[in-house]
Amino acid sequence: MKHACPAALDNLEDLLVEMRKCENLRERNRGSFYRAGRGFLHFHEDPEGLFADLKLSQDGDFTRFRVSTATERKRFLSAARKAAAS
C-alpha cells in the first residue's frame, strides 16, 4: 500500500482541514501529521480505497482506518480527535 498521492489527498481535503484544527499537531508534509515530534497520522491509497494510519496512543502502533466513505470518515475523525487531545 503506497502513501497517498496529491490527487488522493485532494479527495481527503475535508479530513486534512479538520486535523489542521488540532493545535497540538504539526503537518510537516501535506497529509503527514506529527505530535510531539513523532508520527501521528498519514494516509495511504490502494485499489481497495483510501486509508488513514493513526496512532491512538503515544506509545502505540498505528491503527488503520478506511476513509473512503462519509461514514468511515466520521468514525475516523471521532477517533483522531480523541487521540490528538490525549
Tens digit of each residue's pLDDT, the chain (86 residues): 789 999 999 999 999 999 999 999 999 999 999 999 999 999 999 999 999 999 998 778 999 999 999 999 999 999 999 999 88
- Cell matching residue 4: 497517498
- Tell me how far CA of residue 49 lies from CA of 8, 12, 13, 44, 52, in angstroms: 10, 12, 15, 9, 10
Q: For the chain, what are the domain ranges?
A: 2-85
Please, are residues 67 and 15 in contact by the beta-carbon 8 Å criterion? yes
Query: For residue 24, which amino acid is it?
Result: N
